[in-house]
Structure 1
């Protein structure tokens, strides 16, 4: 080994010794900031700036927010970009499970309840939460529109191709996995290790959930904070994110696919 290589190796070892260990309080705080900065924390910051931009342009009630937009004018390039967007959006989830695996404590999928150990029970809880949250979401949206606190939301703005519905379903599942694994499972696990109390964690998780929906208006922020409190409470009792993933995916599938199939025909989005 050359003197230069030896020097670099020594420097690397020294750096490793002085850096924060993954399981320490400092290490956990740094890890949390990095994960949120790469995922939904970043979305929350952008969403706040987007809301300020909208509020300084015109009344929120007169503006439109489109979800699931076309990414290319050419059909198969659009499909390719859509699938890549869904895949890479799940990279932070992969990172979270890797980070959980690094610190002893058992299988991270089992620890967060993101597995198929209780399929029927998870499906039952997921379906129940979907029905309860679905009615609440419609009510909050209607109230927000009436008060001028919510933009017109177009849940599906893709062109009409043979693959539109499957992509919307995959997109919905992506949102369910990304949000519930990170904002509930990972967030709860890490904040509990830092000594936070149950309701402190539930409220912090709920506000984070609401923050990255602010680009849709004040109404969706309030609605998602309420949803976050309920989901957080259920997770604190059940210790499983799978019912939350199922409920979230069903909510988004109903919104995305329902709008794509029926929205324009029955005048939704106005």
Structure 2
């Protein structure tokens, strides 16, 4: 049964006739979107950013210089292979839940979220070509920046993978690379930029915000990683602003992480040591 209209309602008010609430005000809409952003970031990369800030403070005050410390990506989670595989797959699966949430929220008006942010396969070869170009343009200078940061003691030593050797090791590393790409590009670029645009933030502020969020959750690797990823964030955010497509960014990110996670094992040990990778 429809609730009765308020006592001070006008008889000619159309919302009284149909028994529906009036549309929210602009202020209420902006407040809701702002709250939504904080929730999505709090469940995903915003949370990672806060942990990374605490982690870098911990590292800087722990005693050993930053350059003498290490961090491990993709650690093994159990000495038993089948349990390790289970943990790795669960990690990938649950990490993608915020991606699903962001896409769901962006599709609230009935429009396809994957089309809205360009996460589709309507032009796969062009997206792949752009992705390869971006991966080369960002990844190669990024390795150089990391090497410089390591030589200056501004970055920790990164162990790209500590998974036990098994038949599933490389497939899991490929899944981890894809998971990182989807999580970061969908949320920090597609979702966040769309929502900030709805809040009518200026373009420069949107670009810088996206870049700083990306840099923040890499702080645990040191200042070099923060700067490098913030620069990457600016480039990716500007590409999205111009093209409104996330798929090339996902491809570029997947390629870069694949090279780090898998490809580095094919590089001579002397080269790896020279750039500070273990």
Q: Fold-level match, TM-score > 0.5?
A: yes
The answer (yes or no) to whether the contact 2:264–2:272 under 8 Å persists in 1 is no
Structure 1 counterpart of 2:41, from 20, 36, 42: 36
Are positions 1:143 and 2:114 aligned together? no
Give structure 1 regions of 4+ aligned residues with deviation exceeding 6 angstroms. Answer: 20-23
Are positions 1:52 and 2:57 aligned together? yes
Gap change, CA 1:101 and 1:219, over 3 Å in 2: same
Q: Which residue of 2 aligns with 1:64?
A: 70
| Deviation sequence 1:153-204 (CA, Å, 0-9, x none) | 1111111111111100000000001000000000000000001111111100
Q: Which residue of 1 aligns with 2:187?
A: 182
User: Following superposition of structure 1 onto structure 2, how do residues 1-270 of structure 1 map, counting pairs within 5 Å?
Assistant: 24-57=29-62, 58-104=64-110, 106-262=111-267, 264=269, 267-268=272-273, 269=277
Aligned residue for 1:70, secondary structure, equals coil
CA distance in 1, matches of 2:126, 2:212: 28
| Deviation sequence 1:215-244 (CA, Å, 0-9, x none) | 000000000000000101111111100000
Structure ranking higher in helix proportion: 1
Deviation at 1:100, TM superposition (A): 1.1
The answer (yes or no) to whether the contact 1:207–1:228 under 8 Å persists in 2 is yes
Gap change, CA 1:263 and 1:152, over 3 Å in 2: farther
Gap change, CA 1:193 and 1:265, over 3 Å in 2: same
Any stretches of 5+ residues in structure 1 without a counterpart?
Answer: 1-16
The answer (yes or no) to whether the contact 1:153–1:216 under 8 Å persists in 2 is yes
Deviation at 1:263, TM superposition (A): 6.4
Q: Given the two structures, how large is their TM-score scaled by the length of structure 2?
A: 0.87
CA distance in 2, matches of 1:227, 1:155: 19
Higher mean C-alpha displacement, 116-125 vs 201-210: 116-125
Q: Count residues with an aligned counterpart.
A: 256
Bigger Rg over Cα: 2
CA distance in 1, matches of 2:103, 2:246: 13
CA distance in 2, matches of 1:27, 1:263: 52
The answer (yes or no) to whether the contact 1:156–1:259 under 8 Å persists in 2 is no
CA RMSD of aligned residues (A): 2.3
